[in-house]
Amino acid sequence: MRILGIDPGYAIIGYGILEYDGARFQTVAFGAITTPAGKPFTERLDIIYRDMCTVLDTYRPDCMGIEKLFFNTNQKTGIDVAQARGVTVLAAVQRGIPISEYTPLQVKQSVVGYGRAEKKQVMEMTRRILGLSKVPKPDDTADALAIAICHGHSSKSQRLNLR
């Protein structure tokens, strides 16, 4: 199964693509879609959409895991992230890719085994699980890989529950 993990944002959108056979993960690719701060917001959304379409068409994932949004104290930032997340989800939906959402707590629990783990712990465990020599940068990319790992673990447990 080829999994695309997404860490949503509007300045930086992390993505990570993994192959998962139910036992082992293999890293296919990872990176970040970035948008220039000086551009109008609608142009930034267009960049995100087009670049996400390129990622989807290049790597052809079977499924996508994305971080569930939660609003912090800055509602404008939350709304902007939600809009950017929307164009990301749209690109996947247009290609018939099933999407699952995960909270940060679920990702931490899946990757580290503890839902209140520190970000640094999640990044290090992501590196170890994937056998990478160093933690991917920017952080959004490492987060996206952690989300993909969480989705792999989640889909495996869902398959086990069906038997």
The tens digit of pLDDT for each residue in 38-81 reads 999 999 999 999 999 999 999 999 999 999 987 666 777 889 99
Tell the burial category of 21 from Cβ atoms under 10 Å away from its Cβ (0-12, 13-18, 19+): exposed
Selecting among 19, 21, 67, 80, the annotated active-site residue is 67
Q: According to CATH, what is the number of the domain 2-162?
A: 3.30.420.10
Write out the H or E segment, with its range, that includes residue 29: strand 25-34
Note if 7 is an active site residue.
yes
Gap between the Cα atoms of 44 and 36, Å rounded = 7
| Beta carbons within 10 angstroms of residue 7's beta carbon | 24
Selecting among 124, 139, 140, 143, the annotated active-site residue is 140
Q: Provide the pLDDT for residue 71.
A: 64
Least confident of 33-42, 65-74, 79-88, 117-126: 65-74
Note if 62 is an active site residue.
no
> Domain extents for the chain?
2-162
Note if 118 is an active site residue.
no
Q: Is the pLDDT of residue 161 over 90?
A: no
Q: Provide the pLDDT for residue 78.
A: 86
Q: Provide the pLDDT for residue 133.
A: 98
